[in-house]
Amino acid sequence: EAQVTQNPRYLITVTGKKLTVTCSQNMNHEYMSWYRQDPGLGLRQIYYSMNVEVTDKGDVPEGYKVSRKEKRNFPLILESPSPNQTSLYFCASSPLMTGAYGYTFGSGTRLTVV
């Protein structure tokens, strides 16, 4: 089944403890992206990747890192999480960045930083 898999689905952590949210797609998509969703703000892009080893900042990149060492994986790294990073996170992938073929989203990761 074609899908984007995020792990974990739920995570509660403490301020300052490094964490990684994994994202993997099995569709050979070139484009991958991370979003965070906060009440009243919709989804905002954190980082995106056009291909292996090519990443760029979205609208809200502060406090996050990403890497794209292989096509299928695009992990989101929070080196020193803070409570304002408590959010619902989505990973997405697409054959083309333009969206001409649509985007496939993961099921989401609900992160709480205390």
Partner 1 sequence: AQKVTQAQTEISVVEKEDVTLDCVYETRDTTYYLFWYKQPPSGELVFLIRRNSFDEQNEISGRYSWNFQKSTSSFNFTITASQVVDSAVYFCALSESKGAGSYQLTFGKGTKLSVIP
Round to whole Å and give the CA distance between 68 and 54.
7
Round to whole Å and give the CA distance between 110 and 37.
10
Say how many C-beta atoms besides its own lie within 10 A of residue 36's C-beta: 23
Binding flags for partner 1, 45-64, as an x/- string (CB under 8 A): x--x-x-----x-x------
Query: Considering the complex, what minimum distance in angstroms separates the CB of residue 1 from partner 1?
Result: 14
| Binder of partner 1 out of 11, 19, 27, 43 (CB under 8 A) | 43
Round to whole Å and give the CA distance between 57 and 4.
21
Give me the residue label for tokens 């996050």.
64
Query: Under DSSP, is residue 83 helix (H, G, I), strand (E, B) or coil?
Result: helix
Query: Considering the complex, what minimum distance in angstroms separates the CB of residue 51 from partner 1?
Result: 11
Query: Considering the complex, what minimum distance in angstroms separates the CB of residue 16 from partner 1?
Result: 27
Positions touching partner 1 (CB under 8 A) are 33, 35, 40-45, 48, 50, 56, 58, 88, 90, 92, 97-100, 102-105, 107-108, 110
